[in-house]
Amino acid sequence: MIEVRNLYKSLAGQPVLNGIDIDIKEGEILTILGGSGVGKSVFLKNIIGLLKPDRGSIRIDGVEAVGLKAKELAAIQAKFGMVFQGGALFDSLTVAENVAFGMKRLSSHSPEVINKKVTDYLSMVRLEGVEDKLPESLSIGMKRRVSLARSIATEPKYIFYDEPTTGLDPITTDVICKLFLDLQKKLDITSVMVTHDIPTAYKISDRIALIHEGRIAEVDTVKEFKNSANEYVRNFIDINTRVLKT
Ligand SMILES: Nc1ncnc2c1ncn2[C@@H]1O[C@H](COP(=O)(O)OP(=O)(O)OP(=O)(O)O)[C@@H](O)[C@H]1O
Ligand SMILES: [Mg+2]
């Protein structure tokens, strides 16, 4: 479980996170919503230790992560997989080398075991025979799935997905959604997803959180979120579903 308390972060002199409080519960899919630039990616990066919080507390499985030294932080970071906004594959590495990247760094598997695992994880995201291809020859949807395979390959306890379905057509979005639910069941993972895609959030989340003015404006189950009495939440849902329809 991840317990975030009173988390503050300013960047380039501007406050971004202004006292975030949230628990990420074991085994759930938690979706983070919020307007562009509110700090969703910054929030994820603070938790996985890519950015250093200004103050506040992040307890990961009971261990305080804020203020840890690099070596201790590395042990905690091994619990996380991250699919970055845009996928971010290494362009000069093949698909297999991309998927093996974290595995090689974090485990002592032999090359044979790694090759076998690469194929297994690729088939989990429904990709076959693409091991030797370079990312540039893949479609966006395929790249996202390679990125997903790379992050599950290290067998993390927590996976963070930053906008995994942005820019995908509805059918590929649906494939990715089904994959999430499938992986969640098979791998017993806790997932945090950032998205602008409200239908996807409704489809796959256990809970939804909305960030506004650097704080969590609301966090609740999908059903409660849809029926929220909070005026900002209602407006946010309204505007974002209306944009979709036009
Ligand atoms: N490395 C950085 N240095 C300076 N400012 C940054 C940095 N990263 C993010 N910011 C600023 O912090 C704010 C929040 O950025 P963030 O990327 O978290 O937004 P977001 O909610 O993920 O937006 P989007 O939905 O567009 O991805 C923005 O104003 C951004 O310009
Ligand atoms: Mg972002």
Is residue 65 a contact partner of residue 49, using CB atoms and an 8 Å limit? yes
The beta strands (E) that lie in the chain are given as: 2-11, 14-24, 29-33, 55-60, 63-64, 80-83, 158-162, 190-194, 207-212, 215-221
Residue 16 CB less than 6 A away from ligand 1: yes
Token pair in block for residue 90? 């290494």
Distance CA 225, CA 143 (A): 32
Q: What is the pLDDT of residue 184?
A: 83
Output the CA 217–ligand 1 centroid distance in Å. 18
Count of domains for the chain: 1
23: domain range? 2-245
Output the CA 45–ligand 1 centroid distance in Å. 10
Confidence grade of residue 242 (pLDDT, cut at 50, 70, 90): confident
- 11, 20, 162, 197: which to mutate for ligand 1, most atoms within 8 A of CB? 11
Angle between helices 170-187 and 140-152 (to 10 degrees): 10
Question: What's the angle, vertex CA 13, arms to CA 54 and CA 83, rounded to 5?
Answer: 60
Residue 117, φ and ψ in degrees, nearest 5? -65, -40
Q: Please compute the mean of the pLDDT values over residues 6-34 and round it to a whole number.
A: 97
Q: What is the pLDDT of residue 246?
A: 55
Inform me whether the pLDDT recorded for 60 exceeds 80.
yes
Distance CA 125, CA 183 (A): 9
Inform me whether the pLDDT recorded for 126 exceeds 90.
no
Residue 39 CB less than 6 A away from ligand 1: yes
Q: What is the pLDDT of residue 105?
A: 77
Residue bearing the CA closest to ligand 1, atom 1: 11
Residue bearing the CA closest to ligand 1, atom 8: 42
Q: HSE on the CB side for 191, CA within 13 Å?
A: 31
Q: What is the CATH number of the domain that holds 114?
A: 3.40.50.300
Q: Mind listing the pLDDT tens digit for each residue in 101-114?
A: 988 877 788 999 99
Inform me whether the pLDDT recorded for 243 exceeds 90.
no
Q: Mind listing the pLDDT tens digit for each residue in 67-114?
A: 999 888 888 888 998 888 766 789 999 999 999 998 887 778 899 999
Distance CA 118, CA 98 (A): 9
Between 207 and 183, the higher pLDDT residue: 207
Output the CA 113–ligand 2 centroid distance in Å. 35
Q: What is the pLDDT of residue 181?
A: 87
CA 145 to chain centre: 13
- 16, 162, 193: which to mutate for ligand 1, most atoms within 8 A of CB? 16
Q: Whole-prediction pTM value?
A: 0.90
